[in-house]
């Protein structure tokens, strides 16, 4: 079962601090045992801002066996349509086209999406299977 990854999950894991560090790492490990892990170019770009060096990012992705899969025109077009629908319906400006690209990539190239932003993806991508990452309990 292929799992697409949202940027927030990988940032949690790479930084290793905060309330989601452990739950995100555990969810990522489970997903990795269940099948391939993929990200789109957009997630790669967002991670580049975090890693600062391409070699570091490539090493991190390699260690976790995460593949970068091209978005493709079909997924990109679907993202644009969903974004337009969202804005016409009065959707908040805090969700930008990037969020829709990540969702459409997961919908077209994976069986599910591992994310912490379940509410947004559930509303905008109702057919997409979402993997829940619970908050760490003290």
The reply to whether 36 falls in a domain is: yes
The reply to whether 137 falls in a domain is: no
Which residues span the domain enclosing 22?
3-128
The reply to whether 123 falls in a domain is: yes
The reply to whether 17 falls in a domain is: yes
Q: Is the pLDDT of residue 11 over 90?
A: yes
Q: Average pLDDT of 56-67?
A: 96
| Alpha helical stretches, state H, the chain | 7-15, 21-34, 41-51, 54-63, 73-88, 97-109, 118-124
Residue 120: predicted pLDDT: 87
Q: Which two tokens stand for residue 113?
A: 């999406």
Q: Is the pLDDT of residue 118 over 90?
A: no
State the virtual CA torsion across 26, 94, 51, 17 in degrees, nearest 10. Answer: -40
Q: Average pLDDT of 47-52?
A: 90
For the ranges 4-13, 58-67, 82-91, the lowest mean pLDDT is seen at 82-91
For residue 63, the domain's CATH number is: 3.40.50.1010
pTM of the model: 0.92
The reply to whether 138 falls in a domain is: no
Domain count, the chain: 1
Host H or E run for residue 39: strand 37-39
């Amino acid at each position: 079962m292929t799992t697409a990854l949202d940027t927030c999950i990988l940032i949690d894991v790479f930084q290793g601090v905060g309330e989601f560090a452990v739950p995100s790492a555990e969810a990522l490990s489970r997903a990795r045992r269940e099948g391939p892990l993929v990200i789109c170019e957009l997630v790669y770009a967002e991670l580049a801002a975090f890693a600062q060096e391409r070699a570091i990012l490539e090493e991190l992705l390699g260690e976790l066996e995460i593949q970068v899969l091209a978005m493709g025109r079909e997924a990109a077009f679907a993202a644009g349509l969903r974004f337009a629908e969202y804005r016409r319906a009065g959707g908040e400006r805090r969700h930008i086209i990037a969020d829709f690209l990540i969702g459409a990539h997961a919908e077209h190239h994976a069986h599910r999406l591992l994310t912490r932003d379940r509410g947004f993806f559930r509303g905008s991508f109702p057919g997409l299977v979402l993997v829940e990452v619970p908050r760490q309990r003290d």
